[in-house]
Amino acid sequence: MSDTSLRLGQTRPEPAAQPRDGAEIVLDVRDLRVSYYTPRGPVRAVNGVSFALRRGEAFGLVGESGSGKSTIALSLLQLIKPPGRIEGGQALLDGKDILSLSEEEMRRLRLAEIALITQGAMNSLNPVMRIRDQIVDAWKDHGEPVNGREAEDRIRDLLRWVGLRPEVARMYPHELSGGMKQRAVIAIAISMRPKVIIADEPTSALDVVVQRQIMQTLRRIQRDLGAAVILIGHDMGLMAQFVDRLGVMYAGKLVEVSPVRDIFKDPLHPYTQLLIASLPSLARKGQLQGIPGLPPSLLSPPPGCPFHPRCPFVMERCRVEVPPLELKRPNRLVACHLYERDEGQA
């Protein structure tokens, strides 16, 4: 790989969040930086984010609004619009940097290799087109003209795969319930058998019963396809139920990346600890503990660790030195000065 990521003005690049157990990496995001140029100054929405996605895994990106998680999704598909701009970094999909692709190359890559299911996905369906025509359109768009019997068979199989009746092919979006629309969106997203599916809050508009159905469908499809999924959201419960590994975002940075069980059992970063403690549970009644303070303004982020103004364990060093995301325990990356680097594995 070239060293184009080491450009001027960039601080020490954070180490790629490589899993050490030899699993194959399908998408390797390195030091991604995205800013929005607002009249009040640049907002560093994604500020040096690195993570590696293993083939077939479910990886979660959790964070509160403004933490940069959705911006990551949009950058990976080159959908950042001005005043936003990708300022640096790489995203290697099977070794090829997709951030440097031309618009035309990227258009061909979308759906075929990497697909996005967004928050408002249900409204992304064309209201005046039948579901079948929207699927066929996606195929045509990628130079896969399908006609006649074969097309109908493929559409029927695709719909069955996402749990929709064949009749849905002839229906318009308004004839479908919210859950059915989201299934149709998933059908289109997987119609080209992508390697990576990015699902950004795919169920936030749905009731909890339908949410479970949709997420279980997505998991089944993911396994059938062998695709990797990046699930983006704020719901820690959904993360606990769906992902294998979880990355926790705070103020444009990843502060912790760990196997999901480890994060819930033994969160290491103080933000993760407080976030988990703030979750209302069905087990204990009467505990409602928020995180004191507010996330920093990204227009003027604090020096040092972005969490230091709210951190109960803040030290002098935290106010001046940004903690890098490093391996602190086997398979666990944490950006916090509280922990020594895990040398055994490096």
Partner 1 sequence: MTTLLEARGVTKIYGGGLFRRDRTVALEDFSLRIEPEPPSITAIVGESGSGKTTLARLLLGMTMPTAGAILYQGKDLRTLSRREWRAFRRDVQAIFQDPYEVYNPFYRIDHVLHTPLKKFGLVKSEREAQQRIVEALQAVGLRPEETLGRYPHQLSGGQRQRVMVARALLVRPRLIIADEPVSMVDASLRATILDSLRALTRDFGVSLIYITHDLITAYQISDNIIVLYRGSVAEAGHAEPVVQEPQHPYTRLLIGSIPLPDPDRAWSEEQEPSEIGRLADASTGCTFANRCPYAMEMCLERHPPLYQTERYRVTACYLYRESPLLASEHLDEAFVRPGVAGPAVATSGAADDSTAGA
Give residues in contact with partner 1 (CB under 8 A): 64-65, 207-209, 211-213, 215-216, 234-242, 260-261, 264, 274-276, 278-282, 285-291, 294
Closer Cβ to partner 1, 149 or 285, answer by number: 285
Closer Cβ to partner 1, 82 or 290, answer by number: 290
Closer Cβ to partner 1, 126 or 216, answer by number: 216
Alpha carbon distance 149, 152 (integer Å): 5
For the CB of residue 243, give the shortest distance to partner 1 in the complex, in Å: 9
For the CB of residue 279, give the shortest distance to partner 1 in the complex, in Å: 5
The distance in angstroms from the start CA to the end CA of the chain is 21
User: Number of helices (H) and strands (E), helices first, in the chain?
Assistant: 10, 12
For the CB of residue 121, give the shortest distance to partner 1 in the complex, in Å: 17
For the CB of residue 26, give the shortest distance to partner 1 in the complex, in Å: 23
Closer Cβ to partner 1, 8 or 208, answer by number: 208
For the CB of residue 145, give the shortest distance to partner 1 in the complex, in Å: 39
For the CB of residue 338, give the shortest distance to partner 1 in the complex, in Å: 20
Alpha carbon distance 220, 218 (integer Å): 5
In which residue are the tokens 């139920």 written? 241
Nearest partner of 275 among 305, 234, 233, 320, judged by Cα: 234
Alpha carbon distance 59, 37 (integer Å): 29
Question: How would you list the strands of the sheet with 326-329, edge to edge?
Answer: 114-117, 196-200, 228-233, 58-62, 245-250, 253-259, 332-334, 326-329
Closer Cβ to partner 1, 5 or 213, answer by number: 213
CB 343 within 8 A of CB 272: no
**DSSP code at position 110:** B
DSSP H or E segment with residue 286: none
For the CB of residue 142, give the shortest distance to partner 1 in the complex, in Å: 34
Structure tokens at 164: 């929709």
For the CB of residue 30, give the shortest distance to partner 1 in the complex, in Å: 28
CB 76 within 8 A of CB 114: yes
Alpha carbon distance 266, 273 (integer Å): 8
Closer Cβ to partner 1, 235 or 342, answer by number: 235
Closer Cβ to partner 1, 118 or 191, answer by number: 118
Closer Cβ to partner 1, 89 or 296, answer by number: 296
In which residue are the tokens 């997709």 written? 98
CA 129, chain centre distance (Å): 29
Alpha carbon distance 264, 332 (integer Å): 13
In which residue are the tokens 């909890």 written? 208
